[in-house]
Amino acid sequence: MKHTLALLVVDRPAVLSHVSGLISRRAYNIKSIAAGATEDPNITRITMVVECDENGIDQVMKQLAKLVDVIKVTNLTEVPSITRDMALIKVKATPETRHDIVDIVNIFRARIVDVNQATMVIEATGESDKIDALCKVMQEHGIVEIARTGEIALSRGPEAAKNTRDMDADEEE
């Protein structure tokens, strides 16, 4: 099963490496991982999608919460949340196929961000399924290359997600 985890970590070198290493040492697959700035310049948000069972995700969350630089770990899979993925897709484009590509891009509410004699670059943002579907449709035009961010996510509503482990948690496990 896929689980989307959101971590708040201290903005220091090697924190991302420690987090991903902890998960890979337990032989779980990280489907995507994205790290970026938050409203606090000293804190980084890491969003990752991990494949493992329910017992595994509980263990992962407990272990992550024990890392020194981890402030908070939240499983967004179990709460209402908003997830987005972004992709840049470069496709082959001839004068004859450009109109078809533009139509497809409009259907998916994506944007064309670069055009030259042989290719077009499409920027698409949305849920991962939408990006996957756009890539599948674009295959008939010939995909030259793809770059994707991986999922980023936030819980919905004014409060933070409840299924959270803080580094100050009193649990001894």
> If you ran DSSP here, which 8-state letter would residue 11 be given?
-
Average pLDDT over residues 5-24: 93
Please report, for the chain, the start and end positions of each structural domain, with discontinuous segments joined by +: 2-80+156-166, 82-152
CATH of domain 2-80+156-166: 3.30.70.260
* Per-residue pLDDT, 171: 44
Name the nearest CA neighbour of 89 among 114, 57, 121, 67: 121
Name the nearest CA neighbour of 29 among 7, 45, 52: 52
In this structure, are residues 82 and 156 in contact, taking their beta carbons and an 8 Å threshold?
yes
pTM: 0.82
**How sure is the predictor about 170, in pLDDT bands with cuts at 50, 70 and 90?**
very low
* Common-topology check for domains 2-80+156-166 and 82-152: yes
User: Topology of domain 82-152, per CATH?
Assistant: Alpha-Beta Plaits (3.30.70)
* Per-residue pLDDT, 173: 41
Q: What is the pLDDT of residues 73-130, one digit of tens each?
A: 999 988 899 999 999 999 999 999 999 999 999 999 999 999 999 999 999 999 999 9
**How sure is the predictor about 166, in pLDDT bands with cuts at 50, 70 and 90?**
low
Higher pLDDT: 127 or 159? It is 127
Q: What is the dihedral of CA 146, 149, 150, 155, to 10 degrees?
A: -150
* Per-residue pLDDT, 30: 92
Q: What is the pLDDT of residues 24-58, one digit of tens each?
A: 888 888 999 999 999 999 999 999 999 988 888 98
